[in-house]
């Protein structure tokens, strides 16, 4: 059956554009790939692509360091859920503060 193959829809860019504010790697990559599929040369596509490539470079460097036995403090990430909308965002953090047992309340 011809003509029923799946194809990307340009409306996907419109749906993802408001989510670029979250600066999340998955959203940036999706927006960049879809923008390139539709040969878009708008600033948002380039910016999302730059952020996605930077994230990829960072992850490759972290993986190489991990494989070499060097687990750096930069490999810690934190996921936070927005109480208003329920979206989850991932943030890379440099460290975490853990209370000592004497200050940690035991229920």
**Angle ∠(65,68,70) on CA atoms, nearest 5:** 55
Instruction: Give residue-wise pLDDT tens across range 34-62.
Output: 999 999 989 999 999 999 999 999 888 87
Read off the pTM: 0.67
Written as six digits, the tokens of 37 are: 């599929």
Q: How confident is the model at residue 105 (pLDDT cuts 50, 70, 90)?
A: low
Per-residue pLDDT tens over the stretch 1-30: 566 777 778 888 999 999 999 899 999 999
Q: How confident is the model at residue 106 (pLDDT cuts 50, 70, 90)?
A: low
* Closest C-alpha among 84, 21, 104, 32 to residue 12: 32
What is the token pair recorded at 42?
């708008």
**pLDDT at residue 74 tops 60:** no
Tokens of 39: 């040969």
């Amino acid at each position: 059956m011809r003509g029923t193959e799946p194809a990307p829809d340009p409306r996907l860019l419109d749906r993802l554009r408001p989510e670029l504010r979250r600066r999340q790697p998955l959203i940036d990559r999706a927006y960049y790939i879809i923008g390139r599929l539709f040969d878009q040369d708008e600033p948002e596509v380039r910016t999302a692509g730059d952020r996605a490539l930077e994230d990829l470079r960072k992850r490759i460097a972290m993986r190489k360091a991990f494989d070499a036995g060097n687990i750096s403090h930069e490999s810690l990430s934190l996921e936070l859920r927005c109480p208003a909308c329920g979206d989850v965002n991932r943030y890379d953090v440099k460290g975490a503060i853990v209370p000592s047992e004497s200050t940690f309340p035991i229920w």
